[in-house]
Amino acid sequence: MRRSIPSTQALACFEAAARHESYTRAAQELALTQGAVSRQVIALEEFVGVELFRRTRHGVALTPAGDAYARKVRSWLLGVERDTLDLMAHQGTGGTIKLAAVPTFATRWLMPRLPLLAKTQPDITVHIDTQTRPFLFADTGFDAALYAGTPEQVRNWPGIEAMHLMDEDVVPVCSPLLLDRATQRAPGRAWQPLQPQALADLPLLQQSTRPQGWAQWFQSVGVDAPRAMDGPRYELFSMLAVAATHGMGVALIPPMLIEAELARGELVVASAQPLRGERSYYFITPAQQAPSNVLQAFSSWLKAMAQQCAEAQSR
């Protein structure tokens, strides 16, 4: 069956003209004449039966239908270009994964482990874009997603398969200097975690997306903390980590997201009492299609990395 798809040349001319709202600048970008661009746009309008541009005193302007279509064409052309470059780069072997991911988990947990993927699966390339909310895979170019959410949110995400990676347990952490000021220790002795009650007297760093975090933590350890909701608020775990590193207070952060700071001694565990978070981390793939070999290999590797992380934290 013949597909109702315009020519790629017409779409490229339309996208450039839409972006510049000028046939002249589009022609310069594409190394064509203005007349050639105009003819391609007219041919596209005749093909779709919709006016995409309207004439103005200063040239052309997109119609509402043209503006909406231009965004979709731009996304499609970028996807075709990306896939073509990937094919050229891999010469038909291996493959790429376009991954949507929550930012802190991607930068602080996944990316430090990607060199291990490169050693074991050198033909796999992972492209990462930020995406924090559920989306329809059919409306994007993503192959998979790393998502942080509650089990209910995952159940309500239509058309997906979800693989649980790990829970988002948080522990109180702070800089060693702040802990040193809060407790007495003999010279040369390591920092000892504080009793939960002692944390109620320290400055607390709050997460704006989890305003009840400290109140829940103190409740879980049976401590009355009237100031549990006081303190500066930050949106991301990465922001909390930086603030805690600079001695601004104690923060509730998953240890897996501050592995580097803990290893360097920039942060220490202030109290060894974890709090099970409401959210977990999941690997999300579309349910409507069988996963490619590349996606299956990445999924297996990701599950192994999550298992290693869980085992390391349980020691």
Statement: residue 67 has pLDDT above 80: yes
The pLDDT of residue 278 is: 82
Q: Is residue 103 classed exposed, middle or buried when 0-12, 13-18 and 19+ CB atoms within 10 A define those classes? A: middle
**In which band, very low, low, confident or very high, does the pLDDT at 101 lie, cut at 50, 70 and 90?**
very high
* Of 114, 95, 100, nearest in space to 305 by CA: 114
Q: Work out the percent of the chain whose per-residue pLDDT is above 70.
A: 92
The pLDDT of residue 193 is: 75
The pLDDT of residue 281 is: 95
**In which band, very low, low, confident or very high, does the pLDDT at 181 lie, cut at 50, 70 and 90?**
confident
**In which band, very low, low, confident or very high, does the pLDDT at 188 lie, cut at 50, 70 and 90?**
very low
Question: Measured between alpha carbons, how far is 261 from 159 in angstroms, rounded to an integer?
Answer: 38
- Write phi, then psi, for 65 (nearest 5 degrees): -65, -40
The pLDDT of residue 91 is: 55
Question: Measured between alpha carbons, how far is 148 from 161 in angstroms, rounded to an integer?
Answer: 14
Please give the torsion angle defined by the CA atoms of residues 245, 249, 253 and 256, in that order, rounded to the nearest 10 degrees. 20
The DSSP secondary-structure symbol of 109 reads I
3-state helix, strand, coil in the chain (%, to 5): 45, 20, 35
The structure's pTM equals 0.67
Tell me the per-residue pLDDT of 130-157, one tens digit each, with 9 for 90 and over. 998 998 887 788 999 999 999 999 999 9
Question: Measured between alpha carbons, how far is 189 from 165 in angstroms, rounded to an integer?
Answer: 37
The pLDDT of residue 93 is: 53
- CA 55 to chain centroid, in Å, comes to 41
- When pLDDT is averaged across residues 202-227 and rounded to a whole number, the result is 93
* Of 245, 256, 234, 230, nearest in space to 165 by CA: 256
- Answer for the pair 102, 109: CB distance below 8 angstroms, yes or no: no
The pLDDT of residue 32 is: 92
Position with higher pLDDT, 181 vs 1: 181
Type of residue at 29: E
**In which band, very low, low, confident or very high, does the pLDDT at 10 lie, cut at 50, 70 and 90?**
very high
Question: Measured between alpha carbons, how far is 235 from 210 in angstroms, rounded to an integer?
Answer: 9
- When pLDDT is averaged across residues 201-226 and rounded to a whole number, the result is 92
The pLDDT of residue 57 is: 81
Statement: residue 69 has pLDDT above 60: yes
**In which band, very low, low, confident or very high, does the pLDDT at 304 lie, cut at 50, 70 and 90?**
very high
Mean pLDDT of the chain: 88
Tell me the per-residue pLDDT of 33-51, one tens digit each, with 9 for 90 and over. 999 999 999 999 999 999 9
The pLDDT of residue 195 is: 85
- When pLDDT is averaged across residues 185-201 and rounded to a whole number, the result is 71
Position with higher pLDDT, 79 vs 74: 74
The pLDDT of residue 179 is: 83
